[in-house]
Amino acid sequence: MNALAAAALAAGELVCEFSDGYRKSLLAAISGDAPRTELTVLYDLHSAQVLQNGKAGRRDIAIRDGASALHLIQAEGPTVRVTTLLSCTRGSGESCTRFDARHAWHFDTSAPLDPDAAFARLPSGAASGSCEPWRVD
């Protein structure tokens, strides 16, 4: 298990916010539009469930430790929703309090088998954002 995965699992519960693709585009930068939260997701990593993703009720997730990222994968019919934690941007070690993250909802159902390869195939329009522990002592 890499240090990023250890830090996320130590946090237990994560709150993630993602902005839409337009807000990170060149047009948005030129016009001065600030990033806007489009999606908020709550994860309980201890029970391997997503608590909120725009739908009521808990749903199971697969937690996959990749070569340099941690992937939280929710199967939804023929599609998958994947949140990928890329790096610790605040704190260090197991006391990381902010993770750089990407979120995508796509048809690459091979994500649970090889999440790093599925992430590499993601289009650049995947939602960008960050995740933070729900509770920080």
Question: What pLDDT was estimated at residue 36?
Answer: 67
CATH C-level class of 3-133: mainly beta
Instruction: Give the residue extent of every domain in the chain.
Output: 3-133
Mean pLDDT of 41-69: 87
pLDDT digits (tens, 9 = 90+) for 71-120: 999 988 888 999 999 999 998 777 899 999 999 888 888 888 899 998 88
Q: What predicted TM-score, i.e. pTM, was given to this entire model? A: 0.84
pLDDT digits (tens, 9 = 90+) for 8-34: 999 889 999 988 655 556 666 777 776
Show the 3-state SS of the chain.
CCHHHHHHHHHCEEEEEEECCHHHCHHHHHHCCCCCEEEEEEEECCCCEEEECCCCCCEECEEEECCCCEEEEEEECCEEEEEEEEEEEECCHHHCCEEEEEEEEECCCCCCCCHHHHHHCCCCCCEEEEEEECCCC
